[in-house]
C-alpha cells in the first residue's frame, strides 16, 4: 500500500506536469496541493475494495490486471466528483489531467506488479537452466500443456525444463506458447524427438484418443523415452487440483484404441440425491467405485454392506477421511444370510439398491461350485427378495458377459442371478428390477491387467491362454457410471448391456503392456501360451442367441430384449438348486446348473416385454 500510495501521488503529479507544457499555473498548483492527499487515500481504499492487496505481486495474473483496470476506472470517476467538490473557488480540474491520471495510474500500478513477477520468474529461470537434469517435450500446447510448463517454471526444485511443444493446431506451428516453441505436429513426432532429444514426454491432452496416445508411446518407446500423461477430467476432480502431481505414467487403458465413456454423474445420478442408497459388496472393485461416485451426488444416506472386514473398513475410511462424506453406515453382513438381510432392509429402508457382491474368479469358482452358486445366485435371490418385501424403488444387479451362454460355473451362477431378478419382478411389482451386463473391468482384483503387470515386473514370462482369445474391456469408473445411469433407466425386469467397443486380443494387450514397461516382447520379456482352462471361451459375447439389442436413450447402453421366462419354471429351478447347495452336493450341482442352462430356451415364453421397448 505504501508503494501504491507513492505511485498514485506520482501519477497525479505527472498528470498536471504533462498537461501544462509551460509549467503548472498557480491556481492549478493550489488545486494539486489541496487534493493530492485525499486522492491517494480514496484510491487506496478503492484498490483494497477490489482485492488488490489480497495477493502477492509475484503471483499476479490476467485476472488481477482486470481488477486493476476496474479499480483505477472507478477511482478516476471518484476523482472527478471529489475534484469538483473540493476545488478552491471556481477552479475545476482540466479534463486532460483526469485522462492522464487514469492512464498513468494504470501504467504505474499494473506495471509495478508485473515487473515484480517478471523479476522473480527471471531469477527462478536462471538456476533452473543451470540445474535442470530433465528436459521435457509436451504433446499438446493447449491449456493443459501451458499449465504444465508454468508449473515446471515455478518449481525449479523439480530440476525439469520444457524444451517445446508438439501440437496438431496449424495456427500454432512455429509459434511461441508459454515461452516455448511449437516444433511440429504429432505427424512430425519422429523428427521432433530426434531433433530435440527430450528426456521425457508428457501428453498434456486429457481427452486424447487412444490412437494418438498409442502413436506417441510407440515413437517414444522406440527411443527409450518415458511417457507420462495428464489424467482425464474425472480423475482431476477425484484426486485434487495440483495439476503437476496429477501427471502419471501412460497406462494400458490409454491405448486400448477407443474413446472413454464420459458421463455427467451429477446429472445422470440426480435420482440418487436425497435418497437412502445401499450398495452390497461395497469394498470390492466395482462396489467401492459405486460408493465413491454415489457420494458425489449427495444421497441422504449411503449404506455400505460387505462381509470382508478390511475392505469395508478401507472404503469407509476413504469416504469419511479423504472425501469428507459422513452420511454413511457401514454394515458388516453376509448377503447369503436371509434373516440378516431382512433385518438390514427393514432398519435402513433403502430406496435404491446396487447389488455388486459376487465371486468372480472363474478358475476358483470351478473348484468351489457350491459357494459360487450360493454367493452369486442364492444370495442375489435373498437380497432381491428383501428389497421387494421392504418397498425398495430400484434394484440394480451387477452382472457379467459370462452369464451369456455360460460355459463355467461362475457364468452359470450369474445367469441364475439374472433369472432371480426376473423372478423377483414377478412377485414384487412396486420395485423396478434391472441387471447390468458388461465384460472385463481393467484394474479390478484378479483381472488380466494386474496379473500381466506382476509378471512383467518379475521379468516374465507373460502367460496367455490362447493367441486368438479376445475380451471386451472397460475401466472401473466407466462401468460404474453406466451402472448408475442404468438404474435411472430401469422400468422393471430389464437387462442392460454396456457397449464396450471392439474386443481386444489378449496377446496384443500383453505386447502393449510389455512395450509400455519399456521392454520389447519376445526379446526382453517372453510371452508363453499355456492353453485354455476348462470352460474358458475364445470370445465372450454380450447377448444370448435369443436376445436382441434395443437402443436406449442413454449413450453406450442398450437393452437386451429376450423372451420372458416362465415364472413357475424359475421357481422350480431355484428350489432344485438351493436344495443341492444346502446339501453341499458339488457334483450334482454342477450337472444341474448345466442342465438348467440348456433347458432355459425350451421353457421360455416367446413374447417380448413391451416395457423393454420403451426403456
**CATH number for the domain formed by residue range(s) 265-441+473-499+541-614:** 3.40.50.720
Question: Which is it for strands 276-280 and 301-306: parallel, antiparallel or unpaired?
Answer: parallel
Residue 428's pLDDT is 92
Residue 263's pLDDT is 63
Residue 598's pLDDT is 66
Q: Which of 215, 360, 402, 537 is catalytic?
A: 402
Question: Which is it for strands 176-177 and 180-181: parallel, antiparallel or unpaired?
Answer: antiparallel
Asked whether the domain spanning 265-441+473-499+541-614 has the same topology as the one spanning 132-250, the reply is: yes
* Dihedral (Cα; 165, 167, 171, 177), 10-degree rounding: -30
Characterize 430-467 residue by residue with b for buried, 16 or more Cβ atoms within 10 angstroms of its Cβ, and e for exposed. ebbbbbbbbbbbbbbeebbbeebbebbeeebbbbbbbe
Sign of CA dihedral 346, 348, 349, 355: negative
- In order, the DSSP letters of 147-207 are HHHHHHHH-GGG-EEEEEEE---GGGTT-EETTEEB---GGGHHHHHHHH--SEEEE--TT
Residue 604's pLDDT is 43
Residue 78's pLDDT is 78
Question: 3-state DSSP call for residue 135?
Answer: strand
Task: Name 559's bridge partners.
Answer: 496, 550
Q: What are phi and psi of 269, to 5 degrees?
A: -100, 15
- In order, the DSSP letters of 158-172 are G-EEEEEEE---GGG
Residue 603's pLDDT is 47
- CATH class name, domain 132-250: alpha beta
Residue 226's pLDDT is 84
360 in catalytic set: no
CA separation (Å) from 584 to 369, 371, 372, 579? 9, 9, 12, 9
Query: Which residues, including other chains, have CB under 8 Å from residue 454's CB and lie 6 or more apart?
Result: none
Query: Within the chain, what is the greatest distance between any pair of CA atoms?
Result: 114
Residue 430's pLDDT is 93
CA–CA distance, 156 with 161 (Å, rounded to integer): 9
Q: What is the pTM of this model?
A: 0.62
Domain ranges of the chain: 2-123, 132-250, 265-441+473-499+541-614
What averages of pLDDT result for each successive group of 10 residues across the chain (615 residues)?
88 81 75 78 84 73 78 80 59 73 84 78 51 82 84 74 89 85 90 90 78 82 82 52 49 56 76 94 91 92 94 93 88 94 95 92 84 91 94 93 79 88 90 87 70 84 87 79 87 82 82 79 85 74 75 82 79 83 78 72 43 37
Of 98, 113, 13, whose CA–CA distance to 66 is shortest? 113
Task: Name 51's bridge partners.
Answer: none
Amino acid at each position: 500500500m505504501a508503494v501504491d500510495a507513492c505511485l498514485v501521488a506520482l501519477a497525479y503529479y505527472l498528470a498536471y506536469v504533462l498537461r501544462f507544457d509551460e509549467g503548472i499555473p498557480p491556481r492549478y498548483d493550489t488545486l494539486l496541493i489541496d487534493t493530492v492527499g485525499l486522492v491517494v487515500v480514496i484510491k487506496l481504499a478503492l484498490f483494497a475494495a477490489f482485492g488488490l492487496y489480497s495477493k502477492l505481486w509475484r503471483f499476479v495474473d490476467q485476472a488481477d490486471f482486470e481488477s486493476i483496470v476496474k479499480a483505477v476506472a472507478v477511482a478516476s470517476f471518484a476523482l472527478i466528483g471529489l475534484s469538483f467538490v473540493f476545488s478552491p473557488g471556481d477552479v475545476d480540474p482540466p479534463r486532460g489531467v483526469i485522462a492522464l491520471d487514469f492512464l498513468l495510474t494504470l501504467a504505474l500500478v499494473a506495471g509495478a506488479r508485473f515487473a515484480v513477477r517478471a523479476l522473480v520468474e527471471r531469477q527462478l529461470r536462471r538456476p533452473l537452466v543451470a540445474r535442470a537434469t530433465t528436459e521435457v517435450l509436451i504433446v499438446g500446447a493447449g491449456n493443459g500443456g501451458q499449465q504444465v510448463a508454468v508449473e515446471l517454471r515455478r518449481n525449479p526444485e523439480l530440476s525439469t525444463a520444457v524444451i517445446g511443444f508438439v501440437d496438431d493446431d496449424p495456427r500454432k506451428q512455429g509459434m511461441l506458447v508459454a515461452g516455448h516453441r511449437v516444433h511440429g505436429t504429432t505427424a512430425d513426432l519422429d523428427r521432433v524427438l530426434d531433433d530435440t532429444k527430450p528426456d521425457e514426454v508428457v501428453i498434456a491432452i486429457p481427452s486424447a484418443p487412444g490412437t494418438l496416445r498409442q502413436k506417441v508411446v510407440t515413437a517414444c518407446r522406440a527411443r527409450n523415452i518415458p511417457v507420462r500423461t495428464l489424467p482425464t477430467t474425472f480423475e482431476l476432480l477425484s484426486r485434487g487440483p495440483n495439476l503437476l502431481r496429477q501427471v502419471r505414467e501412460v497406462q494400458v487403458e490409454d491405448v486400448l484404441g477407443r474413446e472413454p465413456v464420459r458421463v455427467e454423474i451429477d446429472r445422470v445420478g440426480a435420482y440418487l440425491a436425497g435418497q437412502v442408497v445401499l450398495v452390497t459388496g461395497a469394498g470390492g472393485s466395482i462396489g467401492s467405485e459405486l460408493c465413491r461416485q454415489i457420494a458425489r451426488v449427495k444421497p441422504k444416506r449411503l449404506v455400505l454392506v460387505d462381509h470382508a472386514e478390511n475392505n469395508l473398513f478401507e472404503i469407509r475410511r476413504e469416504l469419511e477421511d479423504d472425501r469428507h462424506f459422513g452420511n454413511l453406515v457401514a454394515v458388516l453382513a453376509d448377503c447369503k444370510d436371509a434373516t440378516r438381510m431382512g433385518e438390514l432392509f427393514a432398519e435402513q429402508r433403502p430406496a435404491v439398491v446396487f447389488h455388486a457382491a459376487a465371486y468372480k474368479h472363474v478358475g476358483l469358482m470351478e473348484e468351489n461350485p457350491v459357494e459360487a452358486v450360493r454367493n452369486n445366485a442364492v444370495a442375489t435371490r435373498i437380497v432381491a427378495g428383501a428389497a421387494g418385501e421392504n418397498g425398495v424403488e430400484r434394484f440394480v444387479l451387477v452382472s457379467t458377459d459370462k452369464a451369456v451362454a455360460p460355459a463355467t460355473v461362475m457364468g452359470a451362477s450369474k445367469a441364475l442371478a439374472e433369472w432371480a431378478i426376473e423372478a423377483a419382478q414377478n412377485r414384487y411389482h412396486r420395485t423396478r428390477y434391472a441387471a447390468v451386463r458388461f465384460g472385463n473391468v481393467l484394474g479390478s482384483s484378479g483381472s488380466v491387467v494386474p496379473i500381466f503387470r506382476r509378471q512383467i515386473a518379475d521379468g516374465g514370462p507373460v502367460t496367455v491362454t490362447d493367441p486368438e482369445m479376445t475380451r471386451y474391456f472397460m475401466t472401473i469408473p466407466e462401468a460404474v457410471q453406466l451402472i448408475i445411469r442404468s438404474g435411472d433407466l430401469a422400468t422393471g425386469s430389464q437387462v442392460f448391456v454396456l457397449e464396450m467397443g471392439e474386443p481386444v486380443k489378449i496377446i496384443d494387450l500383453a505386447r502393449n503392456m510389455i512395450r509400455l514397461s519399456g521392454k520389447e516382447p519376445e526379446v526382453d520379456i517372453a510371452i508363453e501360451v499355456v492353453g485354455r482352462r476348462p470352460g474358458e471361451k475364445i470370445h465372450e459375447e454380450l447377448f444370448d442367441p435369443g436376445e436382441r439389442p434395443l437402443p436406449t436413450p442413454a449413450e453406450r447402453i442398450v437393452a437386451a430384449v429376450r423372451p420372458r421366462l416362465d415364472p413357475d419354471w424359475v421357481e422350480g429351478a431355484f428350489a432344485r438348486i438351493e436344495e443341492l447347495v444346502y446339501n453341499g452336493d458339488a457334483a450334482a450341482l454342477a450337472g444341474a446348473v448345466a442342465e438348467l442352462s440348456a433347458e432355459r430356451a425350451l421353457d421360455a415364453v416367446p413374447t417380448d416385454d413391451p416395457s423393454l421397448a420403451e426403456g
